[in-house]
Amino acid sequence: MGFASGKHALITGGGTGIGAAAARMLAAEGARLSLLGRRREPLDAIAAETRGTAIPCDLTDRAAMEAAFAAARAANGPFDYVILNAGIGDSAPFLRTPRATFDAIIATNLTAVFDGAQLASPDLLDGQDKRLIVIASVAGLQGGAYAAPYVASKHGVIGLVKSLALEFAKTGMTVNAICPSFVATPMVDDSATRISRVTKRSDDESRAALAALNAHGRLITAEEVAASILNLCHPLSGSINGASVAIDGGTSA
């Protein structure tokens, strides 16, 4: 059996992309999985593949999150690993960005992380080798034109991670952020579609333009990000705390 045998991992955004890849890797290591997200169909598919529990949930609704976390505990026991992966993005000139867009991005990318961390902490502070992992972005390490709300949300997430890591440094819980650049996920597909709409490029050309922004000239794979999640969950990673792990082919070097 793997190092995660008998451990309970909760993953938000667990039906697609990075969350689905992490679910597969943790299941292969023996973890029990609770998969949260808005859409039932992809959650059910990954849950069937990994023998996990699918729990549809609006992550911007604190009461809904409380109910979902309670359902996850009832199904699989106390949390050992909590991976807060769900996120949304948008791109537009700052002066044409509606306040509603800013609010929606902050609600999903930052406030839901705050709520998830609070709701998971009673379990994660009880015992050893507990992990809180937040999927941030290289956008949290640097500025970015035409994406001010997204960049602000990711800077906020990294600040939250660093603060929690210090506050709970002497407990059995570590708190870390993973900061990918452009990853081959549905979110990047959406970004490519927006670029195509504005520039009249094809979707393939728009994806290639995004890939070119990564220093090594290709999109990161979801599995590459999931491998770093797996590494942070390992018992030998207990001294990695408050880190912002860049996965970007050297973009932020």
- Residue by residue, DSSP assigns the chain as --TTTT-EEEEETTTSHHHHHHHHHHHHTT-EEEEEES-HHHHHHHHHHHT-EEEE--TT-HHHHHHHHHHHHHHH-S-SEEEE---------GGG--HHHHHHHHIIIIIHHHHHHHHHHHHHTSSSSEEEEEE--GGGTS--TT-HHHHHHHHHHHHHHHHHHHHTTTSSEEEEEEEESSBSSHHHHHHHHHHHHHH---HHHHHHHHHHTSTTSSPBPHHHHHHHHHHHHSGGGTT--S-EEEESTTTT-
- Is residue 150 annotated as part of the catalytic site, yes or no? yes
81, 150, 168, 182: which one is catalytic? 150
User: Active-site residue numbers?
Assistant: 150
